[in-house]
Structures are given as structure tokens and as C-alpha cells.
Structure 1
Amino acid sequence: MSVLRVGNASGFYGDRFDAMREMLADGPLDVLTGDYLAELTMLILGRDRLKNPDAGYARTFLRQLEECLGLAHERGVRIVTNAGGLNPAGLADAVRALADRLGIPVRVAHVEGDDRTAAHPGTLAAHAYLGGFGIAACLRAGADVVVTGRVTDAALVTGPAAAHFGWGPTEYDRLAGAVVAGHLLECGAQATGGNYAFFQDGDVRRPGFPLAELHADGTSVLTKHDGTGGFVDVGTVTAQLLYETGGARYAGPDVTARLDTVRLSQDGPDRVRVEGVRGEAPPPTLKVGLNRLGGFRNEVAFVLTGLDVEAKADLVRTQMEPALGRITDVRWDLVRTDRPDAPTEETASALLRLVVRDADQQAVGRALSGAAIELALAGYPGFHVLAPPGKGAPYGVFEDVYVPHGAVDHVAVLHDGRRVSVSPPPDQHTAVPAPVPEPPLPQPLPPGPVRRAPLGLVAGARSGDKGGNANVGVWARTDDAWRWLAHALTADRFRELIPEARDLPVTRHRLPNLRALNFVVEGILGEGVAAQARFDPQAKALGEWLRARHLDIPESLL
């Protein structure tokens, strides 16, 4: 069958507004997807729904569609999005109303059954990660627009691929290829040079959004529209492939994709071929993300300038101690951004950051806005803060649990109102599959002179969050660099370079086809991004910190 061209116009709720129009106008597409959901987004939409039961979906999508629905209809491009969030039926109705107002004949369907909030009292939002076969049912029945709630990010691509090519639920290699393509598309411009370690290799001032050319055998080519910014090469694709993944198995509701089988090759300018992906049966359970309010949070950053920074920090802590005695969680961080004999006041200053959390909003409000500001004329010399503290804001906690496929009513609500139940996968790994054998290490580089230098001179990295854990994918750009990296960057060495991880479980996975190592650091993000337990709560820059650390690197690589 013909190639299926699937594009992406959103990697998160708040991504480039013009991307939908650009993707429709700048080149041919069959399907345009938009990923609007993340763990934090579900919490935000949950709070929206508390204020208004009719809310709970990504309103940005509706505004984008008002500009673009006519163009999509004219070009015959179908739209598949998880912008439905907590209320896919509500967004589907809103799209119908928009189409009627614009006079555009559009068939709108939606997928539901992911909402498990009633089964988890005390949560603001509890949603199962569904697969792509509900989307496929909607498209097979003729839908032009398909709206979902919480599906896996890759399902936005596996659904259209299964519908277009007629794949069944046990065609695991083909489905796994589509999962990999979906994972590469889901974060938008991250696959076309955005957030890329070697960003200076191309012009990334305004990267175009990516698209995948999918084939019936599950292979694909990752590319972008001609003439758009950014660039696509094996490195940008490797970076996104490693993002927010773990070991060799990438488990989902439709299939378990084997990331250790992926082969990437340059297929021309801004074209990367993705092939060789093998798939296995999915696990017997679905992941359910639970979001709840954890309490209230407040913070203040004291600016410590000039001499005696440590002593000034000690004085602030001592003066604040009486006001913090009843607060449940108090965290102090001294960030030494100062330097001796500094030419500017900013470079002579350090930051002492105080973060407090408690179930009582008034307690966190009083502790900072009262006690901290009262020190203005009674504290250390040069006392000031970056911004006055507020009253305290609610923060969220994320965790995941797992339920059998059969515990969820996965339903495709077709454009004509018919409801089609989506059956659980016919085959599931009911037993824990045998561990994937660890691939052999490459031959080490022969001994030679070394130089102390940053890791990033010879390796790229991309990092991200999964609940309270973080992953850091590190890849080498040459075979010789891989021969060194695979031996030098052990889990123990990772802990040495990232002191926060020294007392945490760190698992290293080898992916030699990608010349890559993937590190999973358990618990480094506390209770997840919404809890903001860390300076970089989503671990977005953890990989760049690692690249900035110095090791003894063979001079032949430098």
C-alpha cells in the first residue's frame, strides 16, 4: 500500500501556535497529529475541571483548528490529537460546533474509556494510557478528526498506521515500527534540531516540525517539510529516540518495541531511515497515571553578594528557623554563582533558595511572606530577594499504578454516534519476559595519552522525566568514541559525575546499534514534575550537566 505521511504539530500544551498551519501549508500530509498531554498537563486540566465541569481539554487546539480546519479539509488531511485530555467528548462536541459555524463538513469521532478517576478516590485525575486501536476504529469508519484523552503518545501514530495498512493486533514488528516512529514525532521539534546537544550543526532558530513516511512493513523515514528550519540527521533522531525511555524494551498497550533492534541511517538531506524494529506482545496491564494535590508550596531566593557568602547563608537559616518549625518540608539550596573580584554585581552574587511545602496554605504563606520579608532591615548586609514570595501555590504529586486491560472500557465513539468496543490485545506477556541479554561491549580503544576534558566534546545526551525517575541517554558520534564510552561511562562513574545520584539506584542499558547508553536514575525527581522537588524538576538539563563534567578522554578522540 502507499506510504502514509504522518506529521506532528504539537509536542506539549503550549507549543508553537502556528505549527498546525505551517504543517498543513508547507507540504503534503495524510495525517496530522498533535500531542498536548504530559503528567503535569493532566494536573492542570484537572484543576480546570474543578472550576468548570465542561472544561478539561486543551483549548489551544480549538483555537488552532479555527484557523486550520478549512485548510485540512481542502487538502484531505485527517487530524488525530490527544487534546481531549480529561474531556474528549466535550472537545469533540466543540469541534463539531466549530465546523458547523465555519460551514465545513467534518466527521468528528472520539475515544474514551481512559478515565479511572472514580476508581481512585482522592485523585484529581486518574487516567489509563490506551493504545491506538480505538483511533484506528474511528479512522476506518471515516472520521476526519479524532479526539482522544490519555493515550500513549505513540498511539497517535500507531492508530493511523493500523487503519491505513490494515494491521491486526498481533503484527508486532509492524506495530513496533510505528511505535518508534510515533515516539520520534511526539515531541515535535525535538526531532528536528530542537533541544539538541550539537545544535550548532545546523540552523535551529526556528526548527520545522517533523513528519514520518511510514511503510506497510513498519519501516519509516523521519523527515520534515522542504524549506523549513532545523535539520534531521542520525544524531537528532538518536537523541529523540533515547528521550524518556528505559532499557531495551519499550512497553506499550499495543506492543512492546525492542529499542535494541532499531537501526538508523542517513537517507539523504534531512531524511533518516528507521528500520529493523522488532516487536513483542504487550504486557498484561495498562499504566494508569494518578495525579493528586500534594499540598501547597512557596519559595524565595535570597541574594547574597560579595564576601562571607557561607556565613550570610547561615545567618538567614538561623533567623528563619523559628518560622519554619511547623512546616512539613523545608529545603535550602545555596547556589554559588558568585566569583571573586567580580566585575558586575550579578557575578558577585550567590542565591540561597528556600522552598517550603505543607498541607496548610496559610502556613507556607506566613512562613515566607511574613518572616522572610521582615528580615529586610535586620538581616545580612546587602539583603534582598529576587522576588517577594506569594501566598503559596498548590503542587501536585504523580504516581503510576497498573490495571489489567480488561479493567478499562476502551471505546471508539464514531462520527455517527455508534460506540465500538476495542478488545484487549489477544496475546499478552502474562509472565515477566526473560531479560534481554546484555549486548557485548565493543573492543576497548588501545591505550594512549588522555586529556582532562568535558564529556560533551565526544558524546551527546538527552534527558527527561518519568514520574519520579529521570533518564539520561548518552550517545557517541563515532565508532571509536563508542568503544571508549561503553567502557568509561559505567553506572558507578555516572554516580561520581552526578553527585545527586550517588545514593540512588542507577541502571545502565547498552544500545550498541545506536552507539548509546541509557541511564535510569530512580527517585531523583521525588514525587514527579508537579511537586517541583528539584531545581530542574523535569531533568531536562541533566544530560547537559553530565556533558559538562570532565573525564580523562583519549586525545585521539579530541
Structure 2
Amino acid sequence: MASRPVRIANISGYLGDRYTALDEVMAGDPVDVVMGDYLAEITLAALAAAAGRGKPGWVGYALDQLTPHLGEIARRGIRVVTNAGGFDPAGMAEELRRRAAEAGVTLRVAHVAGDGVADRLGALHADGHGLEHLDTGAPLKDWGFTPIAANAYLGGFGIAAALAAGADVVVAGRVTDASLTAGPAAWWHGWGPDEFDALAGAVTAGHVIECGAHATGGNFSGFRSVPGMVRPGFPVAEVAADGSSVITKHRGDGGAVTVDTVTAQLLYEIQGPRYLNPDVTVHLDSVRLAQQGPDRVAIAPVTGSPPPPTAKVAVFAPIGYEISTMLFATAPDVEGKVELLRAQLRAALEGHVDELDVTPLGVAATDPPTQWAATVPIRVIATAREAAPLRRFAPAVGSLYLQGFPGFHHDGHAPRASEPWPRIEYWPALLDATELDHHAVLDDGTRVEAPRASRVATPDELAQPVHPEPDLPAPAGDPVELGAFAFARAGDKGGNANVGVWAPDPAHWDWLRATLSTERAARLLPEAGGRIVRHEFPHLRAVHLVLTGLLGSGGSANLRVDQIGKSVGEYLRAKHVEGPA
């Protein structure tokens, strides 16, 4: 067992993250492992569509980032772990070996397999597996669409097994984001799959660094106080043998690591205090944070318990096509202009499109100082099962310049869409984890099995705790923006949006609890339709809200402009509430 913590550096939080990240990390402080996360659910949908058109199923962006550094990675003995393998980790591993050989570099490249179950769906159904929807419980056979991809979320022990067998680079497909940290930590410290507290700590550290600059000030409500935000650096997790960790960053890089930036990421894209991972159930309500020094936040202790008996499977299917455009209306009477636009487009497109959504964005200023302060963008989008009917969309919009509302215009410098594009819908299915063939394949073809925990959680152990409503008087201070006293971070979990709101000042914790009771939160967020699940994290001074069904069937298919709910937290912070006394 290693005596010191393993230093794991993040280089990517999503496909399209800053391309120079690996350059910066290689020029930064020494690290043992570099990990890159490229597979958001919406990214998997795009890769599925691309693979269907005959393109590679892996992330070429990641390959191009790695290639110039292969020699130095080998010289320093840095291990690399990534989920950029997408739908074809074996193919990406082979391409990486080819590039290393071309550069005269010796690196052992392995890949993790077992997540892809698309070709087994029929057999699984025949064996009685319903692949029920995670939120609704409906069986996959009732979906009504034909899946083109189905990938299970794997844990970190396939990665750990590959590293233990001598791999320098491990290419995975659909492992969980946190597994990219938990796997290397388990390898480094020699953990077995039943060391739940240690694994829970590593998963928590992985959850914090998986989204790159999210942990160093990116997407942070308090961004004005963060230095170097023009180019925030990427985070590093130092994971100790007991699973405790310190989150930091490379010295000299922009951004900051504080209790608040780490709290923001801890509350991101969770469903409650029980954070379910293939290797462990993490009790996030046990987590304590402490500022150890500049840009160093300690996470400990973290309690873990057995993992769930089921794996989540990301199933994708094409459900039709969509097309959209952006128009503009200028005050006065923006509301009437939007109503006329909506009526004219419905008349032109009725019977040809399945859905037509016309959404004004914002409100014109009163007595506007400039034309742009008087102007409101209008996003128009239409969907249909087939592409052909949507080719009527552009002519229908284009016909309104002389017969529509006064001042009708679009951005003349932006191209106008004329061809529709595919819609891909996401179905989060549940499958008995024992059905998965989770293993690693080394560069010589040797197969290495991923070990499993000796027991799994019971339903009672998996259930989210029920927190009573705060027994506190309603706040009665002067009206104030919620954001004056609270930070927030919002994200998506399938069709649900989650919002974590916390009080940086301990003096405001009871005020925040009382302000965000379930009833008051529902009034502040009418879009949620009252479908709110509420939890509290006292150690973080946070209220966590799950807005059930706000994102429809998931980020890849709903028609919201804020498709994956990223701005819901800031919207909530903009609301005026009774302030603390």
C-alpha cells in the first residue's frame, strides 16, 4: 500500500473543455495520474448519432490533446485515465497505440469493456429484465422507440485492474465520472471493493474534480471574488489511503479552491444525500469541508455503504427531428407581438409539425436607454417525427417580414437554419449489476476481471432520507435578492433538475432553511409545478432541491432554452425574499 496520497489531476470536464488543459497540467505541479472526463449524457447522445453515420465512436478531441505529450507522459511515469473511448474504447486504445508507436514512445494502453449492452437488449428482455426507467419505473419495451445505443455506468475497478496489471493509459467508455478518480485511487492504495468508506471518499473527491474548473471558480455564484477567472486552472485531488482528500490546483494557475467552490461542485448533479455509484453508496450528508490553506480544501470524513444492486444504463434512441431560429421583438407591447408570431406560425405549420414552441427571453426595459435594452429575443423551435415536414419551417418564418409584427427581424449576421437535425432521447434504465461483464483488456489481449463488492445495498439503505420541514418562523426582514446571502449551483439528472443553495455565512443558515421550505421554494420556482423534493445538508449549510420532471425526458430532447437546467440556481438567487433580520 502506498504511504502517500495519490495526486490526480483533471484535464477535462466535458467534450469541448479548454483544449490546452493537458499542456497546462504538464507544465504545472507534479502529479501521478491525469484523468479526463468527456462523456456528459448529452455528449453520449451526439456520439451515438455520429456513430450511426459511420464516424468513430470515440472522442478524437481527447486523442489530439494527448498525442503531443505521449513521450513526456512515458518519461515521467504518469498514468492517464479517460472515458473518451465513448462507444468504442477498444478502437481508441488501438489508435493511441498506433500514435505512440509512430512517435517512438513505449506506452502500455488498455481499455475497459463491458458497458455496452445494446446488442443484448433483446436477450435481456427475454430473460425478464424490464430495464425500467429510473424515475418512472416504466419498462423499456413501452418506450415506443428503437434504441441505437445502451451503455451501463461502470465503476472504477476495471480501471484499477488495468493499472495494477501494468497499463500506463486506460481508455474507458461509459464509466461514472467519479470512477475516473476512484479507480486510480483504489489501484494506488490497494483497496478492495468492500472498503466502502475509503471508496466513498475517493468518489467524493472524483465528483469534485470531474468537472474541471467547476472546482476552481467556474460556474460559481461568487465568481467576482475569484482571482484569475479569465483562465481558471484545473483541479487536483490528493487522495489518501483512508479515502480522505485535499482538493487543490496547480500553483500559478488562475481561479481558487475554497470551501465554497468545493461546496458548489459537491451539490452539483446529485439526487439527494445518498449518492449512488457502482462501487459504493456515498453518504454526502456526512461530508465535512475545511480550508487547510490557500487553494487547499480538505474533505473528511466521508461515510460509505454497499453499492446498489442495479446499474444505470444510458439508452438512446432517435425520436425525430427539430429545427429552430432566433427572432427579435422590440418594445412596446412585446407580449402582443409574441402572441401574433405564435398565431401566424401555428397557422402556417399546423398539421405538419408535432410541437411548436415560441419562447420570449427576458423583458424589455421601461423607457429604454438604447434600442437593445428595448429588444427581447424570441427562440422558435419545431419538431416532427420525420425531417420533410420541417422543411416548411424556414419558409414559414421567412414569410413574416412584411406581414408579421412591427419591427420583426432576426440577426442578419447569423446563418438561418433550413435543414432539420435529429433528436435523440435518453432513457435511464436499471439493470441487475450482475448482468454486466465488467473487465479490462490489456495491450496483449489479456483479459482482467473487475472485482465486485461482496454485498449490495438493501432498498432501505438506498432510500433517500426524509427531512422534515424547518420548524422556524418565516423570515421577516426587508426584501432582498436571495443571492445577496446565498450561493447556488444547478444541474441535470436525466429529466430532473437539481439546485443546491447554501449560506456561506453560518449566521444565515437558519434563515436559508426557513426561506427555502418546500412550500416557499415552490412559490419561488413556479416552473417546477410543485414537484419538488427537498433535503438539507447541515454540515454544508445547504438546502438541496430536486425539481422533478422539469427537463422532460432529459437534456438531449427537451425543448427548454436552458436545456440542462444550468441557470436555474442563478434564477432562484435573483428572486426577492424576506431577508435575515
TM-score tier after normalising by the smaller chain length: over 0.9
- Classify the secondary structure of the residue corresponding to 1:433: helix
| Cα shift readout 1:298-343 (whole Å, capped 9, x = no counterpart) | 1233322233323322322232222221121122223343123323
Partner-residue secondary structure (3-state), 1:320:
helix
Could you tell me whether the CA contact under 8 Å between 2:475 and 2:579 is conserved in 1? no
Q: 1:156: Cα distance to partner?
A: 0.6
Which region of structure 1 is more displaced relative to structure 2, 319-328 or 28-37? 319-328
Match of 1:222 in 2: 247
Aligned partner (choices 33, 50, 69) of residue 48 of structure 1: 50
2:524 to 491, 497, 507: 497
Runs of 4+ in structure 1 off by over 4 angstroms are 434-445
Q: SS at 1:400's partner residue?
A: strand
Q: Deviations over 1:252-306 (max 9, x none)?
A: 1100000000010000110000001000100100000111122111123332223
Task: Tell which deviates more after alignment, 205-214 or 349-358.
Answer: 349-358
Whether 1:330 aligns to 2:356 is yes
**Hey, what does 1:528 align to over in structure 2?**
554
The partner residue of 1:207 within 226, 232, 248 is: 232
User: In structure 1, what is the equivalent of residue 166 of structure 2?
Assistant: 142
User: CA separation in 2, counterparts of 1:194 and 1:449?
Assistant: 33
Please say which of residues 408-417 and 92-101 is displaced more in the overlay: 408-417
Does the residue aligned with 1:372 lie in a helix, a strand or coil? helix
Does the Cα contact within 8 Å between 2:469 and 2:517 map onto a contact in 1? no
Matches of 1:296 and 1:412, distance apart in 2: 37
Matched residue of 1:245: which SS? coil
C-alpha change, 1:436 and 1:464, in structure 2 (3 Å) is: closer
What is the CA–CA distance in structure 2 between the aligned matches of 1:68 and 1:391, rounded to whole Å? Answer: 40
Q: Distance in 2 between matches of 1:539 and 1:97?
A: 40
In structure 2, the partner of 1:271 is 296
Q: Secondary structure at the match of 1:158?
A: helix
Preserved contact between residue 504 and residue 524 of structure 1 (Cα < 8 Å): no
Aligned length: 551
Q: Is the 8 A contact 1:406 1:424 kept in 2?
A: no
Quote the offset at 1:6 in angstroms. 0.6
Distance 1:383 1:230 in 2: 42
Cα shift readout 1:453-487 (whole Å, capped 9, x = no counterpart): 11111110000011111000001112211121112
Q: 1:434 to 1:364 in 2, by over 3 A?
A: closer
Residue type of the alignment partner of 1:298:
I
Q: Does 1:417 align with 2:445?
A: yes
> Alpha carbon RMSD of aligned pairs, Å?
1.8
Instruction: Choose the corresponding residue for 1:244, options 269, 272, 275.
Output: 269
Taking a change above 3 Å as real, the CA distance of residues 339 and 75 of structure 1, as seen in their structure-2 partners, is same
Alignment CA distance shift 1:382-1:245 (3 Å): same
Say which of 172, 178, 195 aligns to 2:202. Answer: 178
SS at match of 1:244: coil
- Are 2:186 and 1:157 aligned? no
Cα deviation for residue 136 of structure 1 reads: 0.5
Q: Post-superposition shift, 1:439?
A: 6.3
Map 1:434-473; keep pairs closer than 5 Å. Answer: 435=463, 437-438=465-466, 450-473=477-500
Q: In the TM superposition, what whole-angstrom CA distance separates every residue of 1:502-541 from its partner, at most 9, and x where no partner exists?
A: x242001111011111100111111211114212011111
Moved more, 528-537 or 156-165: 528-537
Partner of 1:36: 38
Q: Which amino acid aligns with 2:501?
A: V
- CA 1:104/1:461 → structure 2, altered by over 3 Å: closer, same or farther? same
- Give the 3 Å change call, closer, same or farther, for CA 119–324 of structure 1 in structure 2: farther
Deviation at 1:140, TM superposition (A): 0.3
> Which shows bigger deviation, 544-553 or 448-457?
448-457
Which residue does 2:312 correspond to in 1?
A: 287
Tell me, what secondary structure is at the counterpart of 1:526? Answer: coil
Do 1:110 and 1:414's aligned partners in 2 also have CA atoms closer than 8 Å?
yes
Q: Which letter does structure 1 place at the counterpart of 2:396?
A: A
Q: 1:178-216: per-residue Cα shift (whole Å, max 9, x none)?
A: 000000110001001111110122212211100011110
- Contact map agreement 2:475 2:511 (CA 8 A) in 1: no
Q: Are the equivalent residues in 2 in contact too, given 1:362–1:391 (CA < 8 A)? A: no
2:532 maps to what in 1?
Answer: 506
Please, which of 213, 228, 234 is the counterpart of residue 189 of structure 1?
213
Q: Any stretches of 5+ residues in structure 1 without a counterpart? A: none
Partner of 1:98: 99
* Matching of residue 384 in structure 1 with residue 409 in structure 2: yes
What TM-score does the superposition give when structure 2 sets the normalisation length? Answer: 0.91
C-alpha distance in 2 between matches for 1:87 and 1:372: 41
Specify the alignment match of 1:117 in structure 2: 118
Question: In structure 1, the residue corresponding to 2:282 is in which secondary structure?
Answer: strand
The alpha-carbon distance between structure 1 residues 351 and 200, as it changes in their structure 2 partners (threshold 3 A), is closer
Choose the corresponding residue for 1:518, options 544, 561, 564.
Answer: 544
Match of 2:151 among 114, 122, 127: 127
- The alpha-carbon deviation at position 385 of structure 1 amounts to 2.5
CA distance in 2, matches of 1:550, 1:28: 46
| Residue number in structure 2 paired with 1:255 | 280
Partner residue, 1:539: 565
Summarize deviations over 1:13-68 as a string: whole Å, max 9, x none.
11111111211221110001000101111111112212226x11010111111111
SS of the residue aligned with 1:177? Answer: helix
Contact 1:439 / 1:512 at 8 angstroms: preserved in 2? no
Q: Helix, strand or coil for the counterpart of 1:539?
A: coil
Q: Distance in 1 between matches of 2:340 and 2:31?
A: 62
Deviates more, 1:39-48 or 1:379-388: 379-388
- SS of 2:382's partner is strand
Q: 2: CA distance between counterparts of 1:211 and 1:467?
A: 28
- Measured in 2, the distance between the counterparts of 1:427 and 1:530 equals 35
Which residue matches 2:109? Answer: 108
Letter in 1 for 2:494: G
Distance 1:112-1:313 versus aligned 2 partners, 3 A rule = same
State how far apart, in whole Å, the 1-side matches of 2:268 and 2:27 are: 29
Name the structure 2 match of 1:344.
370
Contact 1:117 1:124 in 2 (8 A): yes
Whole-Å separation in 2 of the counterparts to 1:61 and 1:402 = 29
Per-residue deviation, 1:449:
6.3
**AA in 1 matched with 2:59:** A
- 1:264 and 1:478 mapped to 2: Cα distance? 14
The answer to whether the Cα contact below 8 Å between 1:410 and 1:422 also exists between their aligned partners in 2 is: yes
How do 1:357-372 residues align onto structure 2 when only pairs under 5 Å count?
A: 357-366=383-392, 368-372=393-397
Does structure 2 retain, via aligned residues, the 8 Å contact 1:43–1:124? no
- Which residue number in structure 2 is paired with residue 312 of structure 1? 337
Change (3 A) 1:278 1:303: same
Contact 2:274 2:462 in 1 (8 A): no
One-letter amino acid matched to 1:59: G
